[in-house]
Amino acid sequence: MNQISSSILHHLRLSGGFLSGEDISVSLGITRSAVWKHIGALRREGYRIDAVSGQGYRLFSLSGRPVHEEVSPWLTTRFIGRDLHYHELLESTNFSARVLAGTGTREGSVVVADAQSGGRGRMMRSWVSPGGVNLYFSLILRPRVPGIRVPQLTLLAAAAVHQALCSCVPEIASRIKWPNDIMVGEKKLCGVLCEMQSEPDMTHFVIIGIGINVNIGEFPDELRNIATSLFLESGRMVSRPELLASVLNHFESLYEAWLLHDDLGFVLPYLHEYSLVYRRQVIIRQTTGDVCGTVSGIARGGELMLDLDDARTVLISSGDCLLCRQSP
């Protein structure tokens, strides 16, 4: 959104009622016909603005898109999300964030897309990303930690999303599925994809991509039984700007604590309480083969602690976690 449209929107929101075209044109130093053009542009972006002759303009409803103007009123952060780069369509927000990070963009910048043409999850799997309904965004971080700690940020982001869901959509009971998904029952609601560029002693930057199925009402056939959305679970539409801001607010708190600690110890009680897999039998599928066992916890380094049948406990750093059916 351009600067003038953004200012007009800001004035309309502050006024709460009607604002004359004359007042707007004077306060922004533009002509009344320029005001009219920008009102038209805002309407095309989804803002419902009434125009009543003799009274002026009134903002009836926001566009509901996760743009800076609608997200920032909810933000309580110091730096996360203060620079928010919104696009109608990106190939993938992680890809664009990586390019931005390479040019030196500051820590905490967030790239958001209304739709993705090539959205993806871990290991190059695709992530269904239609426009107008969901959240797809990527955070750019520059933590001064060795690369070996970076995978912990996946769990940290999952915890932040879970906290935001508890506050914005409290009627839904979601759970964190190690290492990077938020589930309702056994259906996926949200995925986290953490990427980094690093050398052994130094992390150049980290990109945390997050996709949340918010208001999508229908999935392609092949996903119907394994994916869900906040709308499908709660029966109501959820505000994308408010939810995005809430995730960023919770993430900043967790991230600042994490930088002060050596590991995930401070957030383990939370990760255990809301874990989908804790104390359950799982199969860990890795490129080298499967490992079966019972999850006995998450280690301070973020690894899954797995009790094997032969009484050994192993730490699992990566892989897919498949749940074994629970006995009835």
146 near a copy of itself (CB under 8 A)? yes
Cβ–Cβ < 8 Å for 14, 30: no
Cis geometry, peptide bond prior to residue 179 (ω within 30 degrees of 0): yes
147 near a copy of itself (CB under 8 A)? yes
In the complex, what is the shortest distance from the CB of residue 104 to a copy of itself, in angstroms, rounded to a whole number? 13
In the complex, what is the shortest distance from the CB of residue 97 to a copy of itself, in angstroms, rounded to a whole number? 13
123 near a copy of itself (CB under 8 A)? yes
In the complex, what is the shortest distance from the CB of residue 43 to a copy of itself, in angstroms, rounded to a whole number? 39
196 near a copy of itself (CB under 8 A)? yes
Q: 102 φ, ψ to 5°?
A: -65, -25
In the complex, what is the shortest distance from the CB of residue 205 to a copy of itself, in angstroms, rounded to a whole number? 10
317 near a copy of itself (CB under 8 A)? yes
| Span near a copy of itself by CB under 8 A; candidates 23-31, 156-164, 194-202, 231-239 | 194-202
Q: Is 240 annotated as a binding residue?
A: no
81 near a copy of itself (CB under 8 A)? no
* Structure token pair of residue 185: 């029952």
Question: Rule CB under 8 A: which of 197-216 touch a copy of itself?
Answer: 197-202, 204
String of b and e for 89-122 (b: at least 16 CB within 10 Å)? Answer: ebebbbbbbbebbeeebebbbbbbbbbbeebbbb
Site string for a copy of itself, 262-301 (x = CB under 8 A): -------------------------x--------------
143 near a copy of itself (CB under 8 A)? no
Nearest to 140 by CA among 221, 187, 77, 207: 207
Site string for a copy of itself, 157-186 (x = CB under 8 A): ----------------------x-------
Annotated binding site for biotin: 92-94, 116, 120-122, 188
Tell me which residues touch a copy of itself (CB under 8 A).
98, 122-124, 144, 146-148, 151, 154, 179, 193-202, 204, 287, 317-319
